[in-house]
């Protein structure tokens, strides 16, 4: 008796190919202010203010780094300013410019402090994509009133209190950032001190 065997085998294989995962490395500079408020040797408050970085600052950053057609000055010193009310509530926006301080920005600079110029922001070397000042920048208030926020500016005229001169490229004056206090206006008195730390990260 013979064996008649029918052997049927079936197999399937599948290979899944996925497109390479996109990697995004976005440069999104952002900054934040921390302000300690001192009166008569006692700290009476700490205020935080995350800031927006203006469009003119971003353009300047790209021009300084990449524009081979024109040589843009690299500003080694930047200056802090205080925001006064003009609206009466200032509303900082990315379209604000240095030339429109006390203009279409709808905010002005507070000038009632003892320092003869806008104080310099003095950061150390950047590390881990962060740059900041180790020692606070001090404003010594000379009149009672309300301070609404802060800004950072660079350029040939940026140290001058109350200045809003546009200047001419590649050495124009630049508004890097501006912000209002997250908790609202800060009431100050003569001889108060505002000690400011500003950090930029990406």
Q: Is 61 exposed, middle or buried (0-12, 13-18, 19+ CB in 10 A)?
A: middle
The model's pLDDT over 34-43, given as tens digits with 9 standing for 90+, comes to: 999 999 999 9
pLDDT bracket for residue 19 (50, 70, 90)? low
Instruction: Tally DSSP H helices, then E strands, for the chain.
Output: 1, 12
Domain-by-domain residue ranges, the chain? 30-201
Greater pLDDT, 187 or 26: 187
pLDDT of residue 35: 97
- Distance, in Å, from the CA atom of 175 to the CA atom of 55, rounded to the nearest integer, reads 9
- Distance, in Å, from the CA atom of 174 to the CA atom of 166, rounded to the nearest integer, reads 8
Q: What are the structure tokens assigned to 123, written together?
A: 């950061």
Q: What is the pTM of this model?
A: 0.84
Q: Is 78 exposed, middle or buried (0-12, 13-18, 19+ CB in 10 A)?
A: buried
- The beta strand positions in 101-154, using DSSP E, are 108-110, 120-121, 130-132, 137-140, 145-147, 149-154
What angle is formed at CA 48 by the lines to CA 135 and CA 41, rounded to 5 degrees? Answer: 55
Q: Does residue 91 carry a pLDDT above 60?
A: yes
- CB 178, CB 122: distance < 8 Å: no
Grouping H, G, I as helix, E, B as strand and the rest as coil, residue 2 is: coil
The model's pLDDT over 97-132, given as tens digits with 9 standing for 90+, comes to: 999 999 889 899 999 999 999 999 999 999 999 999
162: nearest Cα among 57, 83, 78, 53: 83
Name the H helices within the chain: 55-66
């Amino acid at each position: 008796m013979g064996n008649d065997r029918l052997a049927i085998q079936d197999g399937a294989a599948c290979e899944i190919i996925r497109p390479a995962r996109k990697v995004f490395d976005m440069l999104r500079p952002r900054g934040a202010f921390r302000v300690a408020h001192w009166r008569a040797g006692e700290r009476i408050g700490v205020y935080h203010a995350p800031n927006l970085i203006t469009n003119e600052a971003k353009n300047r950053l790209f021009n300084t780094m990449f524009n081979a057609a024109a040589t843009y000055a690299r500003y080694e010193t930047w200056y802090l300013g205080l925001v006064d009310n003009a609206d009466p509530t200032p509303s900082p926006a990315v379209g604000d410019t240095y030339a429109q301080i006390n203009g279409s920005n709808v905010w002005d600079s507070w000038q009632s402090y003892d320092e003869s110029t806008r104080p310099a922001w003095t950061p150390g070397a950047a590390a881990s994509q962060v740059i900041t000042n180790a020692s606070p920048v001090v404003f010594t208030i000379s009149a009672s009133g309300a301070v609404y926020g802060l800004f950072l500016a660079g350029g040939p005229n940026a140290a001058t209190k109350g200045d809003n001169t546009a200047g001419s490229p590649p050495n124009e004056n630049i508004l890097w950032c501006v912000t209002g206090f997250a908790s609202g206006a800060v009431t100050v008195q003569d001889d108060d001190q505002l000690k400011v730390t500003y950090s930029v990260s990406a």
